[in-house]
Amino acid sequence: MKHFPGYGDNADSHTDLVYDNRSLEELRANDFLPFKAGIEAGADSIMVSHNIVPAIDDVPSSISPEINKILRNELGFEGVIMTDDFDMQGLVQFVDQDTGALQTIQAGTDMILSSSYASQVPYIIEQVKAGTITEERIDQSVKRILGMKYDLGLIK
């Protein structure tokens, strides 16, 4: 499922930094509903947009711990949370990709969609070695990703 918390009628985050100024109540009443239904139907993953939703957090949704708390705690999602493409302007105009990768992992995201993995993977490994990210945090995501792959028949 994508793009949590919803897009509404705002600009395109492929080309620009995007703000969604709707209230949390409006998002809950409208945009969260299809995600809630999908979660109840067994969705295995949710892609989070780069939209900045000031009613929730002041950073892009893809690097927001508050967005992940809503997915996990309010909506009861137990599957894989992934980002939208990290090369999109809606993110890179806000933060560099390595820092964004660190922030999204710290926020609780499981999977990063990025073509800049050649720099991000070593950077994240350095952050684990430095204790900025714990191995347990990485293990949580690995377990969810492997569980999804197993459920899809991609691994045995």
Read off the CATH number of the domain in which 50 is found.
3.20.20.300
Select from 121, 125, 45, 49 the least CA-distant residue to 85.
49
- 38 belongs to a structural domain: yes
Number of domains within the chain: 1
Say how many C-beta atoms besides its own lie within 10 A of residue 90's C-beta.
24
- E-assigned strand segments in the chain: 2-4, 45-48, 80-85, 111-113
- 76 belongs to a structural domain: yes
Beta carbons of 27 and 5 less than 8 angstroms apart: yes
pTM of the model: 0.95
- Residues serving a catalytic function are 14, 84
- 90 belongs to a structural domain: yes
**Looking at residue 8, what is its pLDDT?**
66
- 156 belongs to a structural domain: no
- 48 belongs to a structural domain: yes
- 66 belongs to a structural domain: yes
- pLDDT in 10s for each residue of the chain, 156 residues: 999 998 766 677 877 888 999 999 999 999 999 999 999 999 999 999 999 999 999 999 999 999 999 999 999 999 999 999 999 988 999 999 999 999 999 999 999 999 889 999 999 999 999 999 999 999 999 999 999 999 999 999
**Domain enclosing residue 33, as ranges:** 2-151
**Looking at residue 13, what is its pLDDT?**
80
Q: Three-state DSSP class for 95?
A: coil
The conformational region for residue 101 under phi > 0 = left, psi -120 to 50 = alpha, else beta, is alpha
> C-alpha angle 11/91/119, rounded to 5°?
150
Lookup result for tokens 């939703």: 53
**Kind and range of the H or E element at 79?**
none
Q: List Cα–Cα distances, 154 to 46, 142, 144, 145, 146, in angstroms.
A: 18, 15, 14, 11, 9
- 30 belongs to a structural domain: yes
For residue 6, give every residue at least 6 positions away whose Cβ sits within 8 Å of its Cβ, in sequence order, or none. Answer: 20, 27, 30, 31, 32, 35, 49
